[in-house]
């Protein structure tokens, strides 16, 4: 069996790596603007509801621009789920506002509406609504709680292509952020968008983004190289003797040379903004996006099929709102000892996921800077101790799902040992 890496280029197929390779050979095309507009148009067409899209380097930059465009700053509060990634908390600090963390439910990993009620104040100006693992949250219920004046920004990092009541996630709030990061629903290795139906807002966002800065040539080079490298490494990952295999050596050297790039820069752990953000998405990466979006529905159908299989094999059936589509970017499951399962899987050549093994996926020393107070979101803290994520990507076979499920089944978290207030809502 080929190795399975949940986070290393999981969406890359041969046509994607061929395209990236051909782009590597044409550096004079890297800053073309037409593919960027075309990619924005494709996303607008895909989401429908007459949204407008603005392409950028990442979802975190899209969020930063949205907060700025809404005039959010000092003294304002922005609500975020704590079961998320620090890169979405940082932009709140970058504009000088205060993040307020809301707990999540144990049964669907989405915002706990009771906790939300208790945390909305007169200073609340915006809320980031994350459809965790692709599981839709009913945005109308959030609206009822926060009222008409708080900006609802959907985070579709896990859920692009999912729907609620016939509408695509990302079109239900005031605006949304999309990411095309390496391990997300579709990938340009590094990239994102802000989308909104509000025409004035999109104009403002365009002005704020401006034509500069752009990705440096080095960053484009590294991003294009990534899918090419992984398509070469994966088939020969275990070719060799013992630990000395071709794939491992090439991967090790690539890490050492820092040519895999890193999704979170060192300064971001200290809540600082990398100088080069927010940057316009370059044409070379938009071309990867154009190739990926053609396959988005097919990828999601595959994810749903594998999730159904995990669900049956592990007897974990997530309740999702009626009339909605849950795309399962990853299949979440609780185990007693995540480290043990992750290590055992690694020995089988399978790298499972660990979202979000810490609050805000942040080292303990970053939590103060992120203004998170320990003990304030107990369910999220509990989930962080037990969660692992199972892969559903296009390169994962049903045979692999059988193997993974067998391993996980031996290590599943016993429901009786749940300590939180609300019982898990598995059916
Ligand atoms: C839930 C969630 N939202 C947003 C992001 C940010 O995406 P990007 O890397 O494009 O900034 C992440 C990043 O991992 C994430 O996990």
- Residue-wise pLDDT for 129-180, tens only, equals 999 999 999 999 999 999 999 999 999 999 999 999 999 999 999 999 999 9
Which atom of ligand 1 is nearest to 361's Cα? Answer: 16
Distance CA 328, CA 401 (A): 14
Q: Is residue 13 part of a domain?
A: no
> Which of 64, 87, 357 for mutating ligand 1's site (highest number of atoms within 8 Å of CB)?
87
pTM: 0.95
Q: Do 54 and 152 lie in a common domain? A: yes
Q: Do 303 and 200 lie in a common domain? A: no
Q: Strands 98-102 and 77-81: what pairing?
A: parallel
Q: Is residue 307 part of a domain?
A: yes
The band of 239, judged by pLDDT with boundaries at 50, 70 and 90, is confident
Which atom of ligand 1 is nearest to 263's Cα? Answer: 9
- In the chain, what percentage of residues exceed pLDDT 70? 97
Beta-carbon contacts of 97 under 8 Å, excluding residues fewer than 6 positions away, are 67, 72, 73, 74, 75, 76, 77, 78, 125
Q: Residue 344's domain spans which residues?
A: 296-417
Q: Is residue 361 part of a domain?
A: yes
Ligand 1 mean position, distance from CA 158 (Å): 9
Among residues 156, 149, 186, the alpha carbon closest in space to that of 172 is found at 156
Catalytic residue among 119, 151, 184, 204: 184
Which atom of ligand 1 is nearest to 61's Cα? Answer: 11
- Residue-wise pLDDT for 219-233, tens only, equals 999 999 999 999 988
Q: What is the CATH number of the domain that holds 138?
A: 3.40.640.10
Where a domain ends, among 209, 224, 249? 209
Q: 265 — phi, psi (to 5°)?
A: -80, 155
The DSSP call for residue 214 is B
- Spatial contact of 105 and 82, defined as CB atoms under 8 Å apart: no
266 has a pLDDT exceeding 70: yes
Where a domain ends, among 209, 230, 257? 209
> Which of 88, 153, 177 for mutating ligand 1's site (highest number of atoms within 8 Å of CB)?
88
How much is the CA Rg of the chain, to the nearest whole Å?
21
Ligand 1 mean position, distance from CA 329 (Å): 13
245 has a pLDDT exceeding 90: no
The DSSP call for residue 27 is G
Q: Is residue 105 part of a domain?
A: yes
424 has a pLDDT exceeding 60: no
280 a catalytic residue: no
Ligand 1 mean position, distance from CA 232 (Å): 26
User: What's the mean per-residue pLDDT of the chain?
Assistant: 93
Mean predicted confidence (pLDDT) in 388-410: 95
What DSSP string runs through 170-207? TSSSSEEEEE--TTSSS--SS-EEEEES-HHHHHHHHH
Provide the sign of the torsion angle of the four alpha carbons 110, 169, 185, 13, taken in this order.
positive
Beta-carbon contacts of 308 under 8 Å, excluding residues fewer than 6 positions away, are none
Q: Is residue 267 part of a domain?
A: no
User: Which pLDDT score is estimated for 419?
Assistant: 44
- Residue-wise pLDDT for 58-88, tens only, equals 999 999 999 999 999 999 999 999 999 999 9
Mean predicted confidence (pLDDT) in 111-135: 98
Q: Is residue 398 part of a domain?
A: yes
Where a domain ends, among 187, 209, 231? 209
- Spatial contact of 71 and 158, defined as CB atoms under 8 Å apart: no
User: Which pLDDT score is estimated for 415?
Assistant: 58
Q: 387 — phi, psi (to 5°)?
A: -85, 140
Q: How many structural domains are present in the chain? A: 2
User: Which pLDDT score is estimated for 164?
Assistant: 96
Q: Do 76 and 171 lie in a common domain? A: yes
Secondary structure of 9-45 in the HEC alphabet? CCCCCHHHHHHHHHHHCCHHHCCCCHHHHHHHHHHHH
Which tokens go with 225?
């190289």
Q: Is residue 364 part of a domain?
A: yes
Ligand 1 mean position, distance from CA 242 (Å): 36
- In the chain, what percentage of residues exceed pLDDT 90? 82
User: Which pLDDT score is estimated for 260?
Assistant: 80
Q: Do 60 and 193 lie in a common domain? A: yes
Ligand 1 pocket list (CB less than 6 A): 58-60, 84-85, 87-88, 130, 155, 157-158, 179, 181, 192, 263
Cβ atoms within 10 Å of 236's Cβ, excluding its own: 15
The length of the chain is 427
Among residues 91, 46, 119, 48, the alpha carbon closest in space to that of 292 is found at 46
Q: What is the CATH number of the domain that holds 371?
A: 3.90.1150.10
Distance CA 188, CA 39 (A): 11
User: Which pLDDT score is estimated for 116?
Assistant: 98
425 has a pLDDT exceeding 70: no
Q: 391 — phi, psi (to 5°)?
A: -75, 145
> Which of 43, 59, 176 for mutating ligand 1's site (highest number of atoms within 8 Å of CB)?
59
Q: Is residue 77 part of a domain?
A: yes
Which atom of ligand 1 is nearest to 132's Cα? Answer: 1
């Amino acid at each position: 069996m080929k190795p399975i890496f949940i986070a290393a280029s999981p969406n890359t197929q041969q046509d994607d790596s061929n395209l990236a390779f051909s782009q590597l050979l044409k550096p004079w095309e890297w800053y073309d603007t037409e593919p960027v507009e075309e990619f924005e148009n494709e996303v607008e067409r895909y989401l429908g509801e007459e949204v407008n899209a603005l392409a950028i380097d990442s979802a975190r930059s899209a969020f930063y621009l949205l907060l700025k465009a809404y005039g959010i700053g000092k003294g304002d509060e922005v609500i975020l789920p704590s079961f998320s990634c620090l890169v979405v908390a940082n932009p709140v600090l970058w504009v000088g506002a205060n993040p307020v963390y809301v707990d999540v439910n144990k049964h669907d990993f989405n915002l706990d509406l009771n906790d939300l009620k208790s945390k909305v104040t007169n200073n609340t100006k915006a809320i980031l609504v994350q459809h965790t693992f692709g599981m839709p949250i009913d945005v109308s219920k959030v609206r009822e709680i926060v009222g008409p004046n708080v900006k609802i920004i959907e985070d579709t990092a896990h859920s692009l292509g999912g729907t609620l009541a016939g509408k695509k996630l990302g079109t239900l709030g005031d605006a949304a952020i999309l990411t095309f990061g390496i391990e997300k629903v579709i990938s340009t290795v590094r990239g994102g968008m802000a989308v909104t139906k509000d025409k004035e807002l999109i104009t403002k966002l365009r002005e704020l983004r401006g034509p500069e800065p752009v990705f440096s040539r080095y960053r484009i080079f590294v991003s294009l190289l990534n899918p090419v490298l992984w398509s070469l490494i994966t088939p020969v990952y275990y070719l060799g003797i013992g630990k000395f295999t071709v794939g491992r050596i090439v991967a090790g050297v690539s890490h050492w040379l820092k040519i895999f790039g890193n999704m979170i820069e060192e300064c971001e752990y200290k809540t600082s903004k990398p100088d080069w953000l927010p940057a316009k998405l370059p044409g070379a990466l938009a071309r990867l996006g154009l190739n990926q979006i053609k396959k988005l529905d097919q990828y999601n159908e595959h994810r749903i099929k594998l999730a159904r299989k995990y669900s049956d094999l592990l007897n974990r059936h997530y309740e999702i709102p009626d009339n909605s589509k849950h795309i399962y970017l990853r299949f979440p499951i609780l185990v007693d000892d995540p480290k043990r399962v992750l290590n055992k899987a690694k020995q089988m050549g399978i790298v499972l996921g660990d979202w979000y093994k810490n609050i805000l996926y942040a080292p303990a020393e970053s939590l103060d800077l992120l203004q998170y107070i320990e003990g304030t979101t107990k369910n999220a803290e509990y989930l962080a101790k037990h969660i692992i994520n199972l892969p559903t990507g296009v390169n994962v076979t049903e045979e692999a799902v059988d193997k993974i499920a067998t391993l996980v089944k031996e290590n599943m978290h016993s429901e009786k040992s749940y300590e939180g207030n609300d019982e898990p809502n598995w059916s």
